[in-house]
Amino acid sequence: MPELPEVEYASRVLRRAVVGRRIVRVRVMHRSLEARLPPSAQRRMEGRTVRAVERRGKYQLLHLDDGSVLLAHFRMTGDWSIGRVRESDAPYARAVLELDDGTRVTLADSRALATLTLVDDVSAALPVLGPEPDDASFTPQTLAALLSRRRGAIKPVLLDQRVVAGLGNIYAAEALWTARISPRVTAHSLGPARLARLVRAIHQVLRRAPAARYSAARSGSRWNVYDREGLPCRRCGHGVRRIVQAGRSTFYCPFCQKR
């Protein structure tokens, strides 16, 4: 999935295409999606007008005019493809919204892990999410409070959406590199100075993230540590290491990211 900057960009693309438009037809072309968005929900969406599009963490919320909300989550490989109803389906099309102006919004998702759910009560349906990284409430102090009882390594903790909403595997690694903090440090052991660096680093890596998809450029050249195993650290030249934490790859510089 895309992480926060990509989802933010996708939600803007979606907003431009759908707000004020009426959904005339819904199609679901993949079994696992069909289970989450059954024909009854598809029928219910047809004829509804999209009032607004919001983003919360990596979720996109399409507010419909009957009060229901379509929750979209891209997981690893989802994305919107905006086209016209008369065109042939986009590659990896898993679901389609056809709009009254002839626009076709496609959920394109090679791995088919993305989810669409129609809900009446968003707060009941959404998991608890931490602050948005750009929210004023995301500070070294509030982060310290959230980490105070976390005895695990900081990197997997940063992926916990209850701590901060929207960070994923790439930008968690990038932020720790920027803050010169080892991904293996126990979360609650970080003091005020390092927490301040971490908050600043999270802001910085997200702000500098390109809006479009990762695939737009080659990996290894666009990040400071992510996907750079064995390559020299861009800061100190020491070899970047890859370890596995909570089943996910972590890339870091064992020399200049301190424990």
Partner DNA sequence: GGTCGCCTGGTA
Partner DNA sequence: TACCAGGCGACC
The residues assigned a catalytic role are 2-3, 58, 248
The helix-helix angle for 140-147 and 192-208 (nearest 10°) equals 110
Residue with smaller CB distance to DNA, 19 or 112: 112
Give CA–CA dist 57/77, Å, rounded.
Answer: 16
Give CA–CA dist 37/72, Å, rounded.
Answer: 11
Residue 76 beta carbon to DNA: minimum distance, rounded to whole angstroms: 5
116 touches DNA (CB under 7 A):
no
36 touches DNA (CB under 7 A):
no
169 touches DNA (CB under 7 A):
yes
Stretches 99-107, 155-163, 174-182, 191-199: which one binds DNA (CB under 7 A)? 155-163
Give CA–CA dist 149/147, Å, rounded.
Answer: 6
Among 15, 27, 30, 200, binds DNA (CB under 7 A): 30
Residue 103 beta carbon to DNA: minimum distance, rounded to whole angstroms: 24
Express the helix, strand and coil content of the chain in percent, nearest 5 each: 30, 25, 45
Q: Are 76 and 113 in contact (CB under 8 A)?
A: yes
DSSP category for residue 215? G
248 touches DNA (CB under 7 A):
yes
Residues facing 70 on adjacent strands:
62, 118
111 touches DNA (CB under 7 A):
yes
Residue 202 beta carbon to DNA: minimum distance, rounded to whole angstroms: 14
The beta-strand segments (E) located in 130-218 are none
170 touches DNA (CB under 7 A):
yes
Q: Which two tokens stand for residue 70?
A: 């379509």
- Chain residues that interact with DNA, rule: CB under 7 A: 1-3, 6, 30-32, 57-58, 73, 75-77, 92, 110-113, 127, 150-153, 156-157, 159-161, 168-170, 187, 213-215, 244-249
